[in-house]
Structure 1
Amino acid sequence: MTDTKRPLDGLRVIELGQLIAGPFCGQLLGDFGAEVIKVEAPGLPDPARGWGAVKKDDIGLFWPIIGRNKKSLTLNLRVEEGQAILRDLVKTADVLVENFRPGTLERWGLGPDVLHEINPRLVIARVSGYGQTGPESHKAGYASVGEAKGGLRYLIGEPDRLPARAGVSLGDTMTGTFAALGTMMALFAREKSGKGQVVDAAIYETVMAFMESLIPEYALMGHTRERSGPILPRIAPSGVYPCSDGLVIIGANQDTLFRRLSAMCGTDWADDPRYATHDARGENQAELDDMISDWTRQHTMAHVLATCEENGVPCGPVNRAKEMLEDAHIAARDAIIRVSHPVLGDVPMQGVFPKLTDTPGGVEASSPGLGEHTDMILTTLGYDSDQQARLRERGVV
């Protein structure tokens, strides 16, 4: 434990829902000091506990990350007694995060109107595929579908192949981030109004927010962006280049940077009309990339990286996990930390971002066992040991 004050110390968050989008919002809030109470059904844990292609001891290796800094309460929200306990918990909370299909909370008698009657200051972050309103709001929405509806999937991959995907669930984590941002804005507004509100975070809309000028390009100019593989069309040079022992990214599309790159490679490219300007380089992007690749192939990654650094040309390695674990800069900034897990031991994982100078976030505890904090939480709500035993016998907790 640390004595450093966290920016969200004293904030109580109830996390409902499963897998990534809602729980990632809870992770971000917990990373900065919020008390996050994760609610799971008795005997039916969040699939994230065992999710993923790579597991150890039947534990999904994303779980120690997305479950960190949380307490686990088992609660059957499909029965009246479980709903009553949640209402008691809501009285003590600042935020409720959920990522059920829209209408689920309402069916359980736990919609925003009910929760705000119990606690008018409650901020309710609702994460879903399509949002809480509109003709498609009732649909189940996974990140893959939201990424497609929001325009991202069409752009990923090679132009002569079917759309690809990133190797992580971008739509989920991006939406969880937006939900956390919306939650903080709602809490800031609460300081002025005294009232909570609903944060409606839809996966497809989050993805749309990252689509830059894709929509006006088509609406105003009739231009449809297409898949372009490892490059951005007409932004050159800016791509992946092969060295004798690996891959690097070089970004030198500004005129001043390109002139440095040209001199560094011992060429007169910067004086050639075909490459001298940004637009000219865009017109001749393929052949320029081929020439740069011819140069990088002659050298090791270390040589290319060092030469680029000496000449002020942005360049970096194309890392895998192995390289990130060995990276001195990543280590110096604690961008990878180790967190003790009761089964897995010390688990290396990404740290807490962004970094705050005066009230930084941190990881205080590993992911909890299912129901690990149920008795403690029920006790704080006024349920004695006999009541807890009866609730457990009836499958409520």
Structure 2
Amino acid sequence: MDGPLSGIRVLDAATLFAGPLAATLLADFGAEVVKIEHPGGDPVRSHGAQREGVGLWWKMLGRGKKSVTLYLGAPDGQEIFRRMVAEADVVIENFRPGTLERWGLGYDRLCEINPRVVLARVTGFGQIGPYAQRPGFGTLAEAMSGFAAVTGEPDGPPTLPPFGLADGITALTTAFAIMTALRARDATGRGQQIDMAIIEPILTLLGPQLIAYDQLGELQPRMGNRSSNNAPRNIYRTADDGWVAVSTSAQTVAERVLRLVGRPDLTEQPWFASGAERARHADELDAAVGAWIAQRDTETVLREFEAAEAAVAPVYTAADVLADPQFRALGTIAELHDDELGPIRMQNILFRLSETPGRIRWTGPPLGAHTAEVLSTYGVDAAELDRLRTAGVIR
């Protein structure tokens, strides 16, 4: 077996981030993933940083996938896609609701071809409802979920994350949904349709905010780097202009921190025994912890906190992550060879399985690198390839 998902065939017909990343996670653990791209390519190929005209995000997002160009808006492309679905286990798509149906590729039609297929549909707002036809991206989910409203400084505006947070959360959820549907198929023999709206998964990670408003009428305010559940909890500047994060989610850790910074008197206050009460005294606690940290360089702060068994971490950049010994020990960063760029480093697979580990088989391939190879297995010979290429159905 080349991974625990060996034998699972996935057609990744989605673009950009959420759907394709879900397919990447499946590929990491052995699924055979065919990336079906418009002849112009997935926009992620030109999204973000590039080296010598090669998109770097694609190298991570396209890893372990075979790239096939196929224009699904053309009848010839639709016919080939139906042949591919007949042998697939999973299809992932993120077209606007109704697009697949207009092409004769809706779930009812796919089920006729292959009753065991699982169709994962990833859209901004889902397949139904008044917003279903709106263009939807992760940014809108970060706004509508309430995430932006609680992020940022108290006197500042709502703040969006500078990366695809909602898309990433949706990708993880979609991969889980696909595995759940495949497990159900083991029992029923039938596939099913997954309706995944990007506005939904991020809500779960926001914790008790909805139920707190429902039951108490309370809305969580913006608090910067502080927490409403415990203190001290913040980012503090060190003497050498570094930054460290401190967390005291456990009562014993809070006590250790205050003893370390020379303020054991604060631990004796009646309010100190409750995380929520400590949060109401965050100004006083931050002043004590911040003053102590500001007088020491980053290395000293980390060493003293570790000796005191208190929770602290440096604020890293990507450069720091690549150099960190803990990430190195875990194998968090994969070192690979890319045919276009040579040596390349990226995030490794998400988790380690002791018996059936996954692996990155290759980095994101050039556009259409596997078109002839893959389509030949579905009866497309050289003459038909030439005809399809001339018609603009493939590239």
Q: State the TM-score, normalized to the length of structure 2.
A: 0.96
Amino acid at match of 2:225: P
Measured in 1, the distance between the counterparts of 2:387 and 2:60 equals: 33
Question: Conserved in 2, the CA contact under 8 Å of 1:94 and 1:123?
Answer: yes
Matched residues in 2 for 1:253 and 1:271: separation?
18
Residues 179, 276 of structure 1: alpha-carbon distance in 2 compared, 3 angstrom cutoff? closer
Deviations 1:168-225 (A, max 9, x none): 1111111111111100000000000000001111110112121211111111111111
Letter of the structure 2 residue corresponding to residue 290 of structure 1: A
- In 2, the alpha carbon distance for the partners of 1:76 and 1:276 equals 63
Q: Name the counterpart of 1:305.
A: 302
Alignment root-mean-square deviation, CA: 1.3
Work out whether 1:144 is the aligned partner of 2:144: no
Kept in 2: contact 1:234–1:285 (CA 8 A): no
Residue of structure 2 aligned with 1:51, choices 47, 52, 59: 47
| Equivalence map 1:278-289=2 (5 Å) | 278-289=275-286
Which of 72, 85, 88 aligns to 1:90? It is 85
- Confirm or deny: 8 A CA contact 1:101 1:140 kept in the other structure: yes
Q: Which of residues 317, 335, 355 in structure 2 aligns to 1:320? A: 317
Partner SS state of residue 11, structure 2: strand
The equivalent position to 1:162 in structure 2, one of 157, 181, 196, is 157
Residues 1:205 and 2:200 aligned together: yes
Q: Describe the shift of the 1:173–1:253 C-alpha distance in structure 2 as closer, same or farther (beyond 3 A).
A: closer
Q: Which runs of 4+ in 1 moved over 4 A?
A: none
Task: Work out which of the residue numbers 100, 105, 108 in structure 1 matches 2:103.
Answer: 108
1:154-303 alignment to 2 at 5 Å? 154-245=149-240, 246-268=242-264, 269-303=266-300
Relative to the length of structure 1, the TM-score reads 0.96
What are the superposed Cα offsets for residues 117-140 of structure 1, whole Å, 9 maximum, x if unpaired?
Answer: 100000111100001111211111
Q: 1:101 Cα shift?
A: 1.2
Q: CA deviation at 1:142?
A: 0.7
Q: How far apart are 1:232 and its partner, in Å?
A: 1.3
- Partner in structure 2 of residue 11 of structure 1: 8
In the alignment, what sits opposite 1:373?
370
List runs of 5+ in structure 1 lacking aligned partners.
none
Q: Which runs of 5+ in 2 are unaligned?
A: none
Moved more, 16-25 or 246-255: 246-255
- Measured in 1, the distance between the counterparts of 2:23 and 2:166 equals 16
- 2:342 pairs with 339, 342, 345, which one? 345
| Amino acid paired to 2:359 | G
Instruction: Measure, in 1, the Cα distance between the counterparts of 2:174 and 2:199.
Output: 13
Determine the C-alpha separation between the residues in 2 that align with 1:279 and 1:33. Answer: 45
In 2, the alpha carbon distance for the partners of 1:70 and 1:251 equals 40
Q: Structure 1 residues 138 and 381, CA, compared in 2 at 3 Å: closer, same or farther? A: same
Aligned match for 2:18, one of 13, 16, 21: 21
Report the Cα distance in structure 1 between the residues aligned to 2:251 and 2:371, rounded to whole angstroms.
61
